[in-house]
Amino acid sequence: MSSIPSTNLSALSARFQSGELTSRAITEAFLQQIAAQNTEINAYLTTTPEAALAAADAADARHRAGQTLGPLDGMPISLKDVLCTVEARTTAASKVLEHYQSPYDATVWARLKAAGMVLLGKVNTDEFTMGASTEHSAYGVTKNPHDQSRVAGGSSGGSAASVAAGMAPCSIGTDTGGSIRVPANFCGVTGLKPSYGRVSRWGTIPMASSLDTTGPLAPTPADCALLLQAIAGKDPRDATTTTAPVPDYTAALQQDIRGMRVGIPREFLEIEGTDAAVLAELERAKETLQELGATVTTVSLPHSPYAIATYYIIAPSEISANMARYDGIRFGQGAHRDTLQEIYYETREQGLGDEVKRRILIGTYSLSSGYYDAYYRKAQQVRTLIRDEMQAAFQQVDLLLSPVSPTPAFPIGQNTSDPLKMYLEDIFVAPVNLAGNCGISVPTGHTAEGLPVGVQLMGPSFGEDTLLRAAHHLYTARTA
């Protein structure tokens, strides 16, 4: 049983479908891994063993009756603790929602549940997803399974760590400015940020609504293709979701990438402070893609250096609006005081962490009278320039290639006293969110110290089939 958790999702599904393993045996093995490792790693905030085993038994019964629902039936999964579930509390890693129990499932979980998946539990995140290291959780930092002195990345650090540590074969996270791709990179797993509108966000606690996306983390791009197939598509409860047809992502993996055009943004190579190991892995990925038949050229995204500044005006502005609902009355825990103002003050003072307060203040300032035009409106104009430049680049190339983060996973505590340095961890990933495009973090190698390091591939809006195809072939070639 101990060998089961190290198996990737696709292979695990095949073993279940063939009858070699039962869903209960698989689920029990992962629950054992959680019991053995979670105290140290701190990936899970809540586990659901009884519900998991009941769902596994139901999958086994379907399999015996020849009624298996598909490739995800009977497969365990962890969910970032911002997706609402009826099986377990949804805390957003915040004290203000410590005991919040949702009466409904997020659309993404409802679709995965309908596909027969088994919920192992809810995993850690930076509070309300505001962070790049999962150090801003009210329930403690998640540690990197490859080196427990280092961060797992954020904000989907619990998702990435649960997969990397063999405590789940896959997970669902969210990505507003790199929060799937950065932790996937730090933990050595694959992380896919779908295009804005490809996957429903209904029932997922929002951070910045024009930037938020929900997507999979798993060992391989092929695993991510399986999960995206199940969660993609129009949702009448989310007006931002597209009516565009959902391609067969798994079938797309079978096509080679000969003749594919890949561009490396010149400006990304000029960013100071990028680790030599990161640049070396980028060069190896370039060479591998060329060996596979792709052509790699240099392109220009002149306004991409302004992406971080733009992101950290737009995102906090939307955060300040979204966080207004946590008033101690409608959602979560509230302070018992005599006046409405006192309830608001005490609820936020006691229930919210420093990073959340910082972003609310930044956003409120950016939207305030006299500063709206100078900050928020100007940031939206720059966002349009970044989006237009990326669209123009995709007229020349099929995909873009870059680092994911400037450095491999950094030591816990290194950047917590310097918010600006922490924010710069998103410098390569934020442009994709601003443009609404898709991106994927592909694990391709390790540093001399044994830390995972990979690369990012970026595609045009709703180009996940091409993105996953290239990621699959790159991953397969680099890890063979």
Tokens 């060329």 appear where? 290
Task: Considering the candidates 13, 94, 102, 155, report the single residue annotated as catalytic.
Answer: 155
CA distance 318 to 363: 7
CA distance 215 to 456: 15
Does the N-terminal peptide bond of residue 102 adopt cis geometry, omega within 30 degrees of 0? Answer: no
Task: Considering the candidates 162, 179, 317, 366, report the single residue annotated as catalytic.
Answer: 179
Task: Considering the candidates 10, 80, 171, 441, report the single residue annotated as catalytic.
Answer: 80
* Strand 213-218 relative to strand 171-175, pairing: antiparallel
Give me the sheet containing 44-47, strands edge to edge.
44-47, 118-123, 76-80, 171-175, 213-218, 190-193, 438-446, 452-459, 399-402, 261-265, 295-299
- Which of 181, 249, 189, 262 minimizes the C-alpha distance to 463? 249
CA–CA distance from 446 to each of 254, 271, 324, 390 (Å)? Answer: 27, 21, 42, 29
Is 80 a catalytic site residue?
yes
Please answer whether residues 63 and 34 qualify as being in contact, where contact means their C-beta atoms are separated by less than 8 angstroms: no
* Strand 171-175 relative to strand 190-193, pairing: unpaired
Which pair of structure tokens corresponds to residue 134? Answer: 């999962």
Nearest-Å Rg of the Cα atoms of the chain is 21
Under DSSP, the state recorded for 129 is: G
3 state SS of 326: coil
- Which of 408, 406, 402 minimizes the C-alpha distance to 441? 402
The length of the chain is: 480
Which residues are identified as catalytic? 80, 155, 179
